[in-house]
Structure 1
Amino acid sequence: MENTPPKGPFTLVTVNTAPERAKRLIGRMVEGLSERYTIIHVDNCDTIEQVSPKVRQHQPNILFSASMWSPEQAQKIHEIAQRERPAIKTHAIPQGLQVERGPDAIVEYLLENVPALLDSVEL
């Protein structure tokens, strides 16, 4: 394998009502992808109302909405983020994944799905 530097840095904002869990799980994902990508988790929004000001403040490349949000809420979160930063890439973790399969399933899901998202980001 060639020795190429990780792609990035990517700045990430999460939308999760459990900020400590978000930080822990995203930390595991960042570690798992660290050879290929540099991801900086800059902030978490505990509420949908925080999305607009935090996206404006941090101008992140990517935003994840956690599995506690319904598809409608996730869509609203993503629309708010895209209004503030049209180039942002958003991703909704499937609703109920944390509850049904636990934190390891979330990390596994992110490790499988995030590389394609990151590869689509214009840096």
Structure 2
Amino acid sequence: MAARKGPFKLVTVNTAPERAKRLIGRLIEVLEDDYDIEHVDNCENIGEVVPKVTKHRPDVLFSASMWSEEEAAKIRSLAQSVVPDIKTHAIPQGLQVERGPEAVVEYLVEKVPALLDS
């Protein structure tokens, strides 16, 4: 068995912090055998991205599905202005609304390992 990869510090950008915590908790559970991921904070709005990324220096940042592509791009560039090599991922807009939280967890389980390994 390969060693677990990480630890990875993760910050989310989600207007519903409890939901972010729950969904990321599920993701961490599914991937825990292979990856050591710690959800260190959530930004409830775009204005919190720079201060929280500055405070935590995370390895990874996810923007939730409530943000438009433009907003997700802005979130990414703000995070990269603080931590240039931060890995970021924008959950496709509307995924949570259209297919529910299970779909978001499944989507992340599929996408995150490649992102963390990159």
Bucket of the pairwise TM-score, normalised by the shorter protein: over 0.9
String of CA shifts for 1:44-103, please: whole Å, max 9, x gaps: 000000000000000000000000000000000000000010010110000000000000
Q: Residue in 2 aligned with 1:48?
A: 46
Ranges in structure 2 where 5+ consecutive residues have no aligned partner = none
Across the aligned residues of Structure 1 and Structure 2, the Cα RMSD in angstroms comes to 0.5
Spell out structure 1 runs of 4+ moving beyond 4 A: none
CA distance in 1 between counterparts of 2:115 and 2:2 reads 19
Q: Say which SS state the counterpart of residue 68 (structure 1) adopts.
A: coil
Ranges in structure 1 where 5+ consecutive residues have no aligned partner = none
CA distance in 2 between counterparts of 1:74 and 1:8 reads 25
TM-score computed with the length of structure 2 as normaliser: 0.99
1:35 correspondence with 2:33: yes
Q: Say which SS state the counterpart of residue 6 (structure 2) adopts.
A: strand
Q: Residue in 1 aligned with 2:98?
A: 100
CA distance in 2 between counterparts of 1:107 and 1:8 reads 20
TM-score computed with the length of structure 1 as normaliser: 0.95
Q: How much has 1:5 moved relative to structure 2?
A: 2.3
Percent identity between the aligned chains? Answer: 69
String of CA shifts for 1:14-70, please: whole Å, max 9, x gaps: 000000000000000000000110000000000000000000000000000000000
Amino acid in structure 2 at the alignment position of 1:45: C
